[in-house]
Amino acid sequence: MIEYIAPYNIDDRVLARGAELLAAGGLLAFPSDTSWCVACSLKSKDGIKRLRQLSGERDERHFTLLCADISQFGEFCSLDNTRFRLIKRLSPGPYVFILKTLSGTDKALGLRRRELGIRIPDHPIPLAVIGALGTPLYSITAKKSMISGGGAGGAWE
């Protein structure tokens, strides 16, 4: 099913259906301030598995955690004062910050490294989706090859 969300007039019903889809392990494609993203709920193991299948990437450096604000980082990554100030100054925006993960985060996400890319987008749609879902999103950049047979069939459902 394809639904359209107007970025500056977000329909709460469409947003709620998107959040339900993510909570059930589905994937959602949406625009952000840099490009289109495909994302899943960070709390959905099925969603993360589908996102990895769709991506076809073996390297987790292509995956980014989308958060609504800096306070969501604390569960997953460690921040010292210097990094906090830098992120505070540059966010929201098109920057991905590579941070060391806290113990357990790498295992929960199936990461081979103890680092994670985190970003606070400057676009109303991903922020609204994160707010409706109540948890950060695990995302990749959408590519044409994902639609034209490069990804796993059925991953969008």
The answer to the question of residue 100 being in a domain is yes
Give yes or no for a contact between 28 and 39, defined as CB atoms under 8 angstroms apart. Answer: yes
Strand 97-100 versus strand 137-141 pairing type: unpaired
pTM for the whole structure: 0.83
CATH number at residue 40: 3.90.870.10
Percent of the chain past pLDDT 70, that is, above it, reads 80
Q: For residue 68, is it within any domain?
A: yes
What is the maximum alpha-carbon separation in the chain? Answer: 45
Residue 133: which of 54, 58, 47, 51 has the closest Cα? 47
Residue 36 is assigned to a structural domain of this protein: yes
User: What pLDDT sits at residue 127?
Assistant: 94
In a domain, 7, yes or no: no
Least-confidence region, from 113-117, 118-122, 149-153: 149-153
